[in-house]
Amino acid sequence: MEEVVPQAGRHIPWPVDMLLPHARTMLLLDRARCYGDGWAEAEVRIAEDSLFYEIGRGVPSWVGIEYMAQTVAMYDGIRSQLERKPISLGLLVGTRRFTASSPWFPLGDLLTVRVEQELLDGPAGVFHCRIEGHSVWAECRLNVFVPSDRKAFFEEDLP
């Protein structure tokens, strides 16, 4: 388990729904917390109305991969807002070394989701991601891709 080193961050002036291209029903993050050079943090509160919540258990920890992916997208959305560019649609290409301390995020827990950019090579990137809760944690690396021409990428004819 890697230790998260606290860093002073800048306040995010935009609500999370202005930073992601997701429909409101699929937006899993509750708050854009702070950001810095190459990293960002978001918050998720586990509640009975959380998507994927199961009574008596909480939210499965594998949903944390989506919390992390949305925080990566939020990081890109912050950059887009600062550069006055439209929000990009990115793709989660893969997950490496997902580990969680528990199979469930418990009801009432406030999760901090932190993503740190490790590599950026054109439209592809790798992020180290970590979730910290009161009694749980999860971490992994995510491989992501942002197509330069979204319309052409998704409308391409397949053989």
Q: Which residues, in sequence order, are CB contacts of 79 under 8 Å at separation 6+?
A: none
Output 71 or 87, whichever has higher pLDDT: 71
Summarised one tens digit per residue, pLDDT across range 47-80 is 999 999 999 999 999 999 999 999 999 999 999 9
pTM: 0.88
Would you give the distance in Å from CA 55 to the centre of its chain? 24
Domains and CATH numbers, the chain: 10-155 (3.10.129.10)
9-48 pLDDT, tens digit each = 798 989 999 999 887 889 999 999 999 999 999 999 999 9
Tokens of 42: 């978001």
Burial track 134-151 (b if 16+ CB lie within 10 A, e otherwise): eebbbbbbbebebeeeee
